[in-house]
Amino acid sequence: MAITSIDSHIKLPVLKQNMARLKRYELKPFMAAVGAGVRMVMLGHLAVPAIDPSGVPVSFSENAVQFIRRGMGYDGILITDALNMGGIGHFSEQERLAVRLRPAWIFSCIPQTLTCYPCICRKRVFPASPDRLLGFRKRLKPRKEGAAPLFDLHQALSRRLTEDAISVTGKCRIRGVR
């Protein structure tokens, strides 16, 4: 995973590393996940000129998708991060987004984006490959009757990962909190 100084919820981060560096460090966990058979990968909203020099976020980039499909040998499901994030700014307008998303290869399933769904469907660029989606659904393990997700366990893991991932240097103030 790449570490950036910009939060993609606010502004579009740019990874300026060359391809050799990306493969050696930033892409290594993703290559390992693909090798281990991960079934779904989320494309984040960040620009990676070594993959797509146009400046288009990898979440909307056909070059990035082709790199993942051909260069990394991944044939699973690709999704985008939420389409209401500040990092994609002018790319997030529904009409422009519908034209950019050529979802024979990509789709978004984040709940906040459901308002975009009818627009994308009317333009006949949604959804992703039906065969790929059907294969994905068939591999899902059905939940036992009455079984509930282990929310407490997941919440504890999420809290631990968050705490381990954040470093605060100097004084830090959160807007709206006194």
pTM: 0.64
Structure tokens given for 99: 């034209």
Chain segment 18-72, per-residue pLDDT in tens: 999 999 999 999 999 999 999 889 998 999 999 999 998 898 888 898 899 999 9
Contact 85, 8 (CB under 8 A): yes
Chain segment 152-173, per-residue pLDDT in tens: 888 888 888 888 877 777 777 7
Round the average pLDDT of the chain to a whole number and report it. 76
Higher pLDDT, 131 or 114: 131
19-141 maps to which CATH number?
3.20.20.300
- Cα separation, 30 vs 44, in Å, equals 12
